[in-house]
């Protein structure tokens, strides 16, 4: 009796301390809307079996990929001819969410290969992923998000490679558009997410992403970047970029645009809002942002090394000899 | 006025109340009183502004302007007696006087004191003065870069002549109009004539080579900026800055509304560890450079302004943006420089890439050695 009273009391004060009823209700509604796509226990593929034409295209692609020596065992290579989609999920200590993430990934289309790259984990992430039906690659040391993606891309045998993260379960409805876009001919399908552009002062990472796209002559992409998930790439795209460059996403993006691939921001998933909780938990500046900034510098270095110090931009009637 | 008083009283009363009660009261106030308060504020804007200026005047009034005026009067009387009253003489006397006054610590004070002095001088000598009294300790020059700007060039030169400059260098390149004739008519100019178009930045580099003054001010021939607005740049360089940029921060929209050029400028500054400079860049005029800076980065590198800027920061020179001149609104619009993705924008992006390339080539990585590797970051973020 006393306990109940106490509970009630804390509840009343808590209500005053936190948000009002209306705002709380709003967030609940938003979540519900976000998740409304599927019912528990039913399996509705967004992406039913693709047409024959697409499958044959896919086969060609695989042969090319096999020549490059990408997949490991011949038995798997045989299986890969039928695999359309590989979903690559790097995970480190994410046992709470990985199950849901894998289940959502498996809902995208039939016979999708879901690869979970468990790295540096000390909890039950690998088991949880296996239980949910994923192929698991385990590494004792931490690889980082991008390192995990690179390792996953090496092992993947699908026609379309979809990259997502283990910490947010994005519904299959919101993952399918990327796969669809790649099947329709896009080589790199990016998340149409530009980061918090309205913040003042703006976050350096957001600035760097915008800057890279405008250097590449693709200011229409705005802040869309391969640093953000989800994104999907085709086999052809993977060949042009090179698997190793996946470890430095801005570099891969630069290689894709300059290599003449079709890069498009396809679908918007508000990953910033979904990530927000994690950011609040931490104290001090995010060490990841410095890594991302260095990645952008690496991309610029590659651009200036391959296209000359001006990155292919003209001098516009400037007569430099005069100044010497 | 009465309303503000009421609000104030309410605020004090509320301080003593508990959290819940305060919250309730806040909601009440928001629905009724709050709205009127906001309206009132708008009405009172003028009043607030007046108060502000009055306060600032009282704090910055460390120099006795009347004394300055008196000193000017004395100097003016002397000049009248000796029949030497002229702009040049006034400037000399003022420079001698200003070096004795130690309180002139910032530009605003110095200019105010100088104006008082000049008023006193003009009053006594009967010689009307058009000069801007900036007390400079070292020699200063200006470089005007122009190409077919006969309508504005004359006015630009008039404004420059009001400043205490030892030399004015006009760089004409690719002119097809009467600019050259106009310039040759005026005395006391150094003219660099280049029949073909060379580009504004190359013109500036050429001009910088033509002078050995301690501080060099760079302006464009297509935009008339008053001497009062140009003086702060010269003053900043004269007092030890190496690069004095035009401070455009408050004129730019928020990031979402910015063009790609402003963004890449800000990115370069941030990469150089000078995020505080925002989008201020040597691509914008007016700006002033010190002789030390020009010699360190070599005049030739001024042809690519962002490169010169990044070299200056890399060499540990002091770079600041002391003053603002609105060049965005008054800039002449040409078919080449309007809209996103135009020729000029591409040129500037190329310039910044060049700057970043040189930065990467000269051991930028060593400066960033303290950053963590991917795996370390992963352990920081995801370890249990």
**Which of A214, A284, A311 to probe by mutation at the B interface, max B CB count within 10 Å?**
A214
B37 domain-assigned: no
Whether residues B121 and B145 fall in one domain:
no
B16 domain-assigned: no
B134 domain-assigned: no
Are the CB atoms for A143 and A151 separated by under 8 Å? yes
Asked if B275 lies within 8 A of A204 by C-beta distance, the reply is yes
What is the structure's pLDDT at B12? 40
Are the CB atoms for B171 and B206 separated by under 8 Å? yes
Give the best-scoring range by mean pLDDT among A20-29, A207-216, A266-275, B370-379.
A207-216
Given 3-state DSSP classes, what are the helix, strand and coil percentages for chain A, each rounded to the nearest 5?
55, 10, 35
Residue B330 belongs to what H/E stretch?
Answer: helix B327-330
Give the domain extent around B164.
140-368
What is the structure's pLDDT at A47? 55
Are the CB atoms for B260 and A219 separated by under 8 Å? yes
- Which pLDDT band holds residue B223 (cuts at 50, 70, 90)? confident
Whether residues B78 and B174 fall in one domain:
no
What is the structure's pLDDT at A32? 66
Whether residues B208 and B332 fall in one domain:
yes
B43 domain-assigned: no
| Tokens describing residue B296 | 């360190």
B264 domain-assigned: yes
Distance CA B341, CA A191 (A): 23
Sheet holding A231-234, edge to edge: A135-139, A113-119, A85-91, A160-163, A231-234, A188-191, A263-267
For residues A74 and A233, the model is more confident at A233
**Inter-chain Cβ pairs, chain A and chain B, closer than 8 A:** 173
Average of pLDDT values for A4-21?
A: 52
Asked if B202 lies within 8 A of A215 by C-beta distance, the reply is no
| Domain-terminating residue out of B102, B125, B148 | B125
Domain count, chain B: 2
What is the structure's pLDDT at B23? 52
What is the structure's pLDDT at A264? 93
B25 domain-assigned: no
- The count of residues in chain A is 324
Find all residues with CB under 8 Å of B349, minimum gap 6, and list them. A214, A215, A311, A313, B260, B261, B264
Find all residues with CB under 8 Å of B21, minimum gap 6, and list them. none
Asked if A291 lies within 8 A of B368 by C-beta distance, the reply is no
**CB burial class (10 A; 0-12, 13-18, 19+) of residue B172?**
buried
Are the CB atoms for B354 and A309 separated by under 8 Å? yes
Whether residues B324 and B188 fall in one domain:
yes
Chain A residues close to B349, C-beta within 8 Å? 214-215, 311, 313
What is the structure's pLDDT at A110? 78
Segment among A120-134, B11-25, B265-279 with least mean pLDDT: B11-25
Whether residues B121 and B144 fall in one domain:
no
Q: In chain A, which among 237-266 make CB contacts under 8 A with chain B?
A: 247
- Which pLDDT band holds residue B337 (cuts at 50, 70, 90)? low
Å between B109 CA and nearest CA of chain A: 32
Asked if B378 lies within 8 A of A290 by C-beta distance, the reply is no
Whether residues B86 and B200 fall in one domain:
no
B171 domain-assigned: yes
Find all residues with CB under 8 Å of B351, minimum gap 6, and list them. A310, B283, B304, B305, B306, B307
Give the global pTM. Answer: 0.79
Average of pLDDT values for A81-85?
A: 75
Whether residues B121 and B166 fall in one domain:
no
A34 pLDDT higher than 80: no
Whether residues B355 and B295 fall in one domain:
yes
**Which of B199, B378, B379, B383 to probe by mutation at the A interface, max A CB count within 10 Å?**
B378
Whether residues B94 and B148 fall in one domain:
no
Alpha helices in chain A (DSSP H): 2-17, 21-35, 52-67, 74-80, 95-106, 125-132, 144-155, 172-183, 204-215, 235-241, 249-258, 271-281, 287-307
DSSP helix/strand/coil, B143: strand
Distance CA A86, CA A178 (A): 12
| Tokens describing residue A204 | 């350096």
For residues B59 and B289, the model is more confident at B289
CATH of the domain at B329: 3.90.550.10
Whether residues B112 and B150 fall in one domain:
no
In this complex, is the C-beta atom of A9 within 8 Å of any C-beta atom belonging to chain B?
no
b/e per residue, B23-49, with b = 16+ CB within 10 A?
eeeeeebeeeeeeeeeeeeeeeeeeee
User: Which of B199, B267, B364 shows the shortest C-beta gap to A211?
Assistant: B267
Are the CB atoms for B133 and B91 separated by under 8 Å? yes
Å between A41 CA and nearest CA of chain B: 31
| Tokens describing residue B294 | 């020009």
| Mean pLDDT (chain A, rounded) | 80
Average of pLDDT values for A125-151?
A: 93
Whether residues B161 and B186 fall in one domain:
yes
Whether residues B294 and B338 fall in one domain:
yes
Å between B231 CA and nearest CA of chain A: 27
Average of pLDDT values for A53-82?
A: 46
Find all residues with CB under 8 Å of B40, minimum gap 6, and list them. B3, B4
ipTM of this complex prediction, to 2 decimal places: 0.78
In this complex, is the C-beta atom of A270 within 8 Å of any C-beta atom belonging to chain B?
no
B199 domain-assigned: yes
Sign of the Cα torsion A136, A137, A138, A144 reads: negative
């Amino acid at each position: 009796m006393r306990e109940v009273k106490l509970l009630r009391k804390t509840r009343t004060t808590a209500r005053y301390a936190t948000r009002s009823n209306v705002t709380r209700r709003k967030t609940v509604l938003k979540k519900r809307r976000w998740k409304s796509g599927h019912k528990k226990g039913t399996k509705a593929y967004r992406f039913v079996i693709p047409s024959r034409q697409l499958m044959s295209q896919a086969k060609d692609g695989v042969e090319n990929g096999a020549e490059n020596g990408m997949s490991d065992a011949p038995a798997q290579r045989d299986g890969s001819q039928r695999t359309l989609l590989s979903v690559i999920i790097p995970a480190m200590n994410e046992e709470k969410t990985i199950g849901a993430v894998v289940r959502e990934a498996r809902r995208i289309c039939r016979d999708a290969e879901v690869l979970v790259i468990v790295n540096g984990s000390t909890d039950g992430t690998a088991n949880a992923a296996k239980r949910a039906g994923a192929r698991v690659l385990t590494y004792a040391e931490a690889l980082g998000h991008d390192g995990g993606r690179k390792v996953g891309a090496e092992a993947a045998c699908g026609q379309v490679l979809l990259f997502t993260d283990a910490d947010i379960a994005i519904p299959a409805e919101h993952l399918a558009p990327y796969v669809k876009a790649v099947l329709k001919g896009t080589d790199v399908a990016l998340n149409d997410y530009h980061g918090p552009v309205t913040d003042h002062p703006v976050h350096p990472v957001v600035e760097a992403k915008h800057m890279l796209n405008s250097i590449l002559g693709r200011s229409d992409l705005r802040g869309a970047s391969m640093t953000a998930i989800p994104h999907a790439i085709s086999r052809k795209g993977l060949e042009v970029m090179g698997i190793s460059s996946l470890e430095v996403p801005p570099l891969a993006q630069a290689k894709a645009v300059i290599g003449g691939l079709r890069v498009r921001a396809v679908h918007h998933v508000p990953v910033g809002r979904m990530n927000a909780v994690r950011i609040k938990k931490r104290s001090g500046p995010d060490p990841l942002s410095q890594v991302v900034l260095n990645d952008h510098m690496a991309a610029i270095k590659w651009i200036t090394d391959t296209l000359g110090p001006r990155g292919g931009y003209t001098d516009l009637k400037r007569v430099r000899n005069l100044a010497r | 006025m009465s309303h503000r008083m009421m609000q104030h009283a309410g605020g004090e009363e509320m301080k003593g109340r508990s959290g819940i009660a305060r919250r309730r009261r806040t909601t009440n106030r928001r629905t009724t009183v709050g709205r009127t308060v906001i309206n009132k504020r708008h009405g009172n804007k003028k009043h607030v502004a007046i108060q502000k200026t009055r306060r600032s005047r009282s704090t910055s009034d460390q120099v006795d302007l009347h004394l300055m005026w008196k000193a000017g009067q004395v100097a003016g009387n002397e000049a009248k007696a000796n029949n030497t009253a002229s702009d040049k003489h006034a400037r000399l006397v003022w420079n001698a006087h200003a070096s004795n006054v130690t309180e002139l610590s910032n530009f605003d004070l110095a200019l105010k004191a100088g104006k008082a002095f000049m008023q006193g001088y003009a009053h006594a000598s009967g010689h009307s003065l058009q000069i801007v009294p900036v007390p400079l300790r070292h020699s200063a020059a200006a470089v005007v870069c122009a190409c077919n700007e006969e309508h504005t060039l004359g006015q630009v030169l008039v404004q420059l002549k009001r400043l205490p400059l030892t030399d004015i260098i006009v760089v004409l390149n690719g002119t097809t109009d009467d600019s050259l004739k106009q310039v040759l008519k005026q005395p006391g100019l150094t003219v660099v004539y280049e029949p073909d178009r060379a580009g504004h930045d190359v013109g500036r580099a050429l001009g910088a080579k033509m002078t050995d003054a301690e501080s060099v001010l760079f302006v464009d021939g297509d935009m008339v900026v008053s001497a009062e607005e140009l003086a702060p740049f010269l003053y900043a360089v004269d007092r030890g800055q190496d690069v004095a940029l035009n401070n455009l921060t408050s004129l730019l929209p928020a990031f979402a509304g910015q063009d790609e050029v402003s963004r890449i400028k800000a990115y370069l500054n941030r990469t150089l560890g000078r995020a505080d400079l925002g989008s201020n860049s040597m691509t914008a005029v007016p700006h002033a450079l010190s002789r030390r800076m020009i010699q360190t980065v070599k005049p030739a590198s001024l042809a690519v302004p962002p490169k010169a800027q990044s070299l200056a920061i890399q060499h540990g020179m002091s770079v600041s943006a002391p003053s603002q001149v609105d060049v965005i609104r008054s800039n002449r619009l040409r078919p080449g420089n309007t809209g996103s993705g135009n020729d000029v924008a591409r040129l500037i992006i190329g310039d910044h890439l060049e700057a970043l390339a040189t930065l990467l080539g000269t051991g930028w990585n060593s400066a960033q050695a303290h950053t963590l590797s991917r795996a370390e970051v992963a352990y920081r973020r995801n370890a249990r």
